[in-house]
Homo-oligomer: A and B are copies of this chain.
Amino acid sequence: MTTKSVINADRIQQAMRSGKAADTESGGLRYVRFVHDFEDIARGTVILHNQAVYGYPAIGRLLALRTGLAKQLSGPFWMEEKIDGFNIRVTRIQSSTIALTRGGYVCPFTSDRLQDLLDTSIFDDQPDLVLCAEVAGPDNPYIESAPPFVSEDVKLFVFDMMRRNSPRFLPQNEKMQLIRRYALPSVEIFGRFEIGDIAPISSILKRLDEEGREGAVFKEDSPRQRRTKHVTGSANLSDIRTSVYSLLDLSPEYFTNRMLRLALFVEEQELADSEDLNRRAGAAFLDGLTGAIRQHRREGRVAHRFRCRFRNPENARQLILYLKQAAGHVQIVPRELKPDGIYWRLEFDRIYPSLNGLLSDWLAGKVVFD
């Protein structure tokens, strides 16, 4: 068992006074949520019925694999797949099992669909367990991309476990045992490696890249639980491809960083077919942008349509409220909520005012001075 550490009332008050934590109402629950990191408490930590579900900590990204692994880790480490989805933590609160987003909200979509995504009976035996997982697939409400091995709807992939009131992860062997015992869906675990095992690690990454998969997380097999991550060239292209709609709303470094990461992956993995890679890199930008321009000419605006399914239509309404509140100046426009077999299918658009404004001006023949 890992060390327990309850967050006492004084620290919570202190965090709230300094704006790092706040009272939150989400999924019909009232609780305290850490909106920023506070001392050693990660953003997204929630205090619910006097129990802490710790936030999933940020993991540093390696740009150069070879030097990076040696610098960041010591001793043996596990290499696991990093999946292109959204991070959630699943836990049981009284009799109901909920999924918390990275930021510590109850995810109306994942919570609604949990029974489709995993066998929740593990919580009957392990009521204080917290499953850290990625939810990924084309029919998710948050991101435009999906891993190649989820062709419809969404799937859930466990990659870490915690217990309530502890920020530590269960050791790898305990996690693997629980995954086996409860037949939990999990990310692929590639094995246990040493710092010097660059050749097999590289060959796994090359294969992931060829298969259009996102990358890997490296987890030191030691009490300090140090982690780091590295993504494939394909993942950078996928990021670019799926983000052209929000081109003007992302941080300035978004695209240039990804192009640099891609160039570094190509150089380090000595990828041979640069013609093909160049073609894919160009297409990642241009397909989406050309599509956006055509859509704007046709419909007068650029929007991206999202689809996802719910068991309870009330959760679809909750999702829309949640997205609207989180969207900033991106507009969330519900289009349809109707029965689909045993489910309700929600369709909504994300509309990007910055790109729309720019294209409206450009296509109307305005000039820019630069």
Contacts and interface: CB of A to CB of B under 8 A. Distances in A.
Interface in A63-113: 63-64, 66-72
Given A256-B255, A282-B281, A67 B369 contact: no
Contacts of A260: 247, 289, 358, 362
A67 B365 contact: yes
A283 B279 CA distance: 8
Interface of A: 58, 60-64, 66-72, 228, 247-248, 251-253, 255-257, 259-260, 262-264, 266-267, 274-275, 277-287, 289-290, 292-294, 358, 362-370
B278 A290 contact: no
B259 A248 contact: no
A369 B289 contact: no
A157 B363 CA distance: 31
Q: Which of A251, A278, A284, A369 has the most CB of B within 10 A?
A: A278
Among A62, A280, A282, the one with the most B-chain Cβ atoms within 10 Å of its Cβ is: A282
Contacts of A368: 60-61, 63
Contacts of A366: 63, 68, 71
23 contacts: A60-B367, A61-B369, A62-B367, A63-B366, A64-B363, A64-B364, A64-B365, A67-B363, A71-B364, A247-B256, A248-B253, A248-B256, A260-B358, A263-B292, A274-B286, A278-B282, A278-B283, A278-B286, A278-B287, A279-B282, A281-B281, A281-B286, A282-B284
Contacts of A282: 277-284
Contacts of A262: 286, 289
A285 B281 contact: yes
B369 A60 contact: yes
Contacts of A289: 259-260, 262-263
Contacts of A251: 252
Given A61-B367, A61-B370, A71-B365, 11 more contacts: A62-B365, A63-B363, A64-B365, A70-B365, A71-B364, A72-B367, A259-B286, A262-B289, A263-B285, A278-B279, A278-B286
A364 B72 CA distance: 11
Count of identical protomers in the assembly: 2
Contact of A365 (B68, B257, B281, B370): B68
Contacts of A367: 60-63, 68, 72, 228
A316 B367 CA distance: 38
A369 B247 CA distance: 21
A58 B367 CA distance: 11
A71 B69 CA distance: 57
Given A71-B364, A247-B256, A266-B290, A58 B277 contact: no
The 9 closest A-B pairs by CB, nearest first: A252-B252, A60-B367, A281-B282, A278-B282, A71-B365, A67-B365, A263-B289, A63-B362, A68-B365
Given A70-B365, A71-B365, A369-B61, A266 B286 contact: yes
B290 A263 contact: yes
A298 to B, nearest CB: 12
Contacts of A248: 253, 256
A70 B365 CA distance: 8
A290 B267 contact: yes
A365 B69 contact: yes
A266 B58 CA distance: 40
Nearest to A237: B282
